[in-house]
């Protein structure tokens, strides 16, 4: 009888585990392993597959056509990342601190600030684009108030396009930073604060000695998550500037480069190679690996 | 403590001023979208984007909904995100239940494989993923997108649920086991009710991220009749690029479900962000 129960329980355990493992295995884990295999082939997506060994890597780092794109996309990506993380950490810390005081209506502010977070990237992109059009509201405001004489082509100007996209991203994701920093501030032990106050520290000294040190983990976490995201997610560029990352590749980042290598930039593009796409995917994985490992270890420790 | 966080009148005024300024930055784009989407013609949008409509009109919404196929896009998005929520909540909770409560040889390895998915974004695997979806004949089907999007949410969902379940004492389950209950019954009668709060967070995260997903449908869907609203709006922009009042209406139609979800469950949202804040 006991044996029978165990057998049944075992079968049911397998039945409970299988759907999740199959779903994740086929559509997420297998593709991850597939990167390692596909990086070694040359294949436009249809027709015969050609084994080329490490040729894709050689081409990516050696052939000027690819290398220049790689370097350009990588550098753009860093600029994009630095603007976003700078905005998030500076504004995010400032706003979180203000919300942590005995501020009137701070819960309402928190809710309002959080509003953009759940919105779809596609909607945010198009909405922001409409606002910054040369005939759009923001330019009307700038010209109308005499700040500038002529309208600014935020997305058309080669030097402005990437920072503008970074501002869109920051607007969308700012509350993420605010909430994480705020929860770090709130988690500071009350008795530490009291001890500091008893020692006669003023508000700024208390903040500096007690509150800021506990913000470091929150800063690292935000930096890591944003870094992983901006190095693989190129939705804003894809939506607004196209897979070529115009004007003149000035908004091209790693995600668009990856997309282009598999599906081509424009209708005329013939330079499609799934092997190259997998290679670029691996390169990005290596770039974000330190950040990713950090997150993984943190999660394991938290368990 | 009190002294540190209490603000004087002057300080309070300055703080309020800054917070109101940021609130304006946050609300401004949405406010502009709302008032301009209700304007009867394009001229008013161009001429006075900050003014209220001369006459409040819902025609733009109607035009987008019927004329520009938004009804169809909306339906596809609802099917995709509904199916994802169902699949992810079921599969992730059963997986977490087995991994935490009935560990076996290799269950740590299975968990580690899931955690690999937390840290390496699925977009990087676009080429092999495309090959797999294509060879299963799921290209350009809603099922293909549903499977891929649910699989992409599985790691975070499993992570949140295993972490939650580890902190719940197993006494009730032990008692049920003593009474001869089998794993199915324990899962359904005992565990599912216990993990409801975490399951709600997972469901919410899955709903919002699958509703908002642009990249994966872009890769796997070709026919317009299968487009979710994120692809639909890009299509819409190709036709109505200069018709700003229609664009605003279309954008707002797309935002309504997530804003509603947010208003209904803003607390779970913020919690999900801080505890499961492992993936954007």
In chain B, the residue whose alpha carbon lies closest to the alpha carbon of A258 is B124
Task: Report pLDDT for B278.
Answer: 43
pLDDT: is A187 or A161 the higher one? A161
Instruction: Give the tens place of pLDDT for each residue, B86-105.
Output: 999 999 999 999 999 999 99
> Residue range A246-253: average pLDDT?
90
ipTM: 0.89
Report pLDDT for B263.
80
**Looking at the complex, does the CB of residue A112 fall below 8 Å from at least one CB of chain B?**
yes
Q: Which two tokens stand for residue B135?
A: 């060879």
Is A200 at the interface with chain B, CB within 8 A?
no
**Residues of chain A found within 8 Å of residue B162, distances taken between Cβ atoms:** 303
Q: How many CB pairs under 8 A join A and B?
A: 303
- Within 8 A of A47 by CB-CB distance, chain B residues are none
Q: Is pLDDT above 70 for A181?
A: yes
What's the pLDDT at B279? 41
Write out chain A residues lying below 8 Å of B277, CB-based. 176, 180, 221, 225
Q: Is A188 helix (H, G, I), strand (E, B) or coil?
A: coil
* Contact present, A243 and A260 (Cβ < 8 Å): yes
| Closest CA in chain B for residue A262 | B127
Q: A41 — phi, psi (to 5°)?
A: -120, 165
Put simply, whether A127 touches B (Cβ < 8 Å) is yes
User: Using one digit for the tens of pLDDT, what is the confidence trace for A57-95?
Assistant: 999 999 998 999 999 999 999 999 999 999 999 999 999
pLDDT of res. B273: 64
Confidence at residue A209, expressed as pLDDT on a 0 to 100 scale: 79
Comparing B118 with A165, the larger pLDDT belongs to A165
Compute how many other C-beta atoms are within 10 angstroms of the C-beta atom of residue B167.
8
pLDDT at B54 (0 to 100): 84
pLDDT digit string (tens) for A125-134?
999 998 998 8
pLDDT at B277: 46
pLDDT in the model for residue A34: 92
Mark yes or no for CB contact B95/A17 under 8 Å.
yes
Question: Closest Cα to residue A297, out of B123, B277, B112, B280?
Answer: B112
Q: Which residue ranges form the domains of chain A, and what is each CATH number?
A: 55-302 (1.10.3720.10)
Residue whose C-alpha is closest to residue A286's, from A73, A278, A220 = A278
Q: Which residues of B touch A193 (CB under 8 A)?
A: 1, 4
Above 60 in pLDDT, residue A303?
A: no
> Which residues does chain B have with pLDDT short of 50?
1, 277-280
Q: Where are the domains of chain B?
A: 2-61, 68-275
Lowest mean pLDDT among A254-258, A269-273, A281-285, B18-22: A269-273
Chain B residues in contact with A296 by the CB 8 A cut-off are: 115-116, 118-119
- Chain A residue with Cα closest to B138: A27
Q: How far is CA A11 from CA A165, B175, B248, in A?
A: 52, 21, 54
User: Does the pLDDT at position A256 exceed 90?
Assistant: yes
**Nearest residue of A to residue B208, measured between CA atoms:** A118
User: Global pTM?
Assistant: 0.90
According to DSSP, residue A264 is labeled -
Please give the residue that has the higher pLDDT: either A196 or B72. B72
Structure token digits, residue B180 = 């001869």
Select from B4, B22, B128 the Cβ nearest to the Cβ of A95. B22
- pLDDT, tens only, B218-227: 999 999 999 9
CATH of B68-275, one of 1.10.10.10, 3.20.20.80, 1.10.3720.10, 1.20.1250.20: 1.10.3720.10
Residue A84: predicted pLDDT = 97
């Amino acid at each position: 009888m006991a044996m029978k129960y165990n057998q049944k329980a075992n079968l049911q355990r397998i039945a409970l585990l299988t759907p999740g493992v199959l779903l994740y295995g086929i559509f997420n884990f297998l593709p991850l392993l597939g990167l390692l295999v596909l990086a070694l082939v040359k294949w436009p997506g249809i027709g015969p597959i050609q084994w080329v060994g490490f040729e894709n890597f050689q081409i990516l780092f050696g052939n000027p056509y690819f290398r220049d794109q790689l370097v350009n996309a990588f550098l753009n990506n860093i600029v994009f990342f630095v603007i976003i993380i700078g905005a998030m950490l500076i504004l995010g810390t400032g706003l979180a601190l203000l919300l942590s005081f005995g501020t009137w209506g701070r819960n309402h502010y928190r809710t309002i600030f959080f509003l953009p977070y759940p919105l779809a990237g596609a909607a945010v992109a198009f909405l922001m684009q409409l606002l910054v059009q040369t005939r759009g509201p923001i330019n009307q405001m700038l010209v109308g108030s005499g700040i500038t004489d002529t309208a600014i082509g935020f997305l058309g100007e080669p030097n402005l396009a990437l920072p503008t996209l970074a501002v869109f991203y920051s607007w969308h994701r700012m509350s993420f930073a605010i909430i994480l920093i705020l929860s770090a501030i709130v988690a500071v032990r009350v008795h530490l604060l009291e001890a500091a106050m008893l020692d006669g520290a003023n508000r700024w000294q208390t903040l500096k000695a007690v509150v800021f040190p506990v913000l470091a983990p929150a800063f690292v976490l935000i930096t890591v998550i944003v870094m992983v995201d901006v190095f693989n997610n190129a939705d804003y560029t894809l939506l607004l500037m196209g897979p070529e990352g115009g004007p003149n590749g000035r908004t091209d980042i790693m995600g668009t480069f990856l997309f282009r290598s598999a599906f081509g930039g424009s209708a005329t593009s013939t330079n499609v190679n799934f092997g190259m796409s997998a290679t670029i995917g691996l390169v990005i994985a290596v770039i974000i690996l330190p950040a990713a490992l950090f997150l993984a270890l943190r999660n394991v420790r938290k368990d | 403590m009190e002294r540190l966080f209490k603000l004087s009148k002057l300080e309070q005024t300055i703080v309020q001023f800054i917070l109101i300024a940021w609130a304006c930055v946050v609300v401004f784009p949405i406010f502009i979208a709302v008032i301009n989407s209700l304007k009867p013609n394009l001229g008013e949008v161009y001429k006075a984007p900050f003014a209220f409509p001369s006459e409040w009109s819902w025609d733009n919404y109607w035009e987008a909904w019927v004329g520009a196929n938004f009804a169809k896009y909306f339906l596809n998005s609802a099917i995709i995100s509904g199916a994802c929520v169902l699949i992810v909540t079921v599969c992730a909770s059963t997986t977490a239940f087995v991994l935490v409560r009935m560990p076996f040889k290799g269950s740590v390895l299975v968990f580690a494989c899931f955690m690999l998915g937390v840290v390496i974004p699925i977009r990087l695997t676009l080429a092999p993923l495309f090959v797999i979806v294509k060879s299963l004949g799921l290209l350009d089907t809603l099922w293909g997108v549903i499977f891929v999007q649910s699989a992409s949410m599985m790691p975070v969902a499993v992570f949140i649920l295993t972490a939650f379940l580890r902190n719940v004492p197993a006494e009730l389950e032990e008692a049920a086991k003593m009474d001869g209950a089998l794993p199915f019954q324990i899962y359904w009668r005992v565990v599912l009710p216990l993990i409801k709060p975490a399951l709600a967070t997972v469901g919410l995260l899955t709903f919002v991220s699958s509703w908002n997903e642009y990249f994966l449908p872009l890769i796997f869907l070709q026919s317009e009749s299968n487009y979710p609203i994120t692809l639909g709006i890009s299509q819409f922009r190709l036709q109505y690029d200069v018709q700003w009042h229609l664009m605003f209406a279309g954008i707002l139609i797309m935002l309504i479900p997530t804003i509603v979800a947010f208003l209904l469950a803003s607390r779970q949202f913020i919690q999900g962000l801080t505890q499961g804040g492992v993936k954007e």
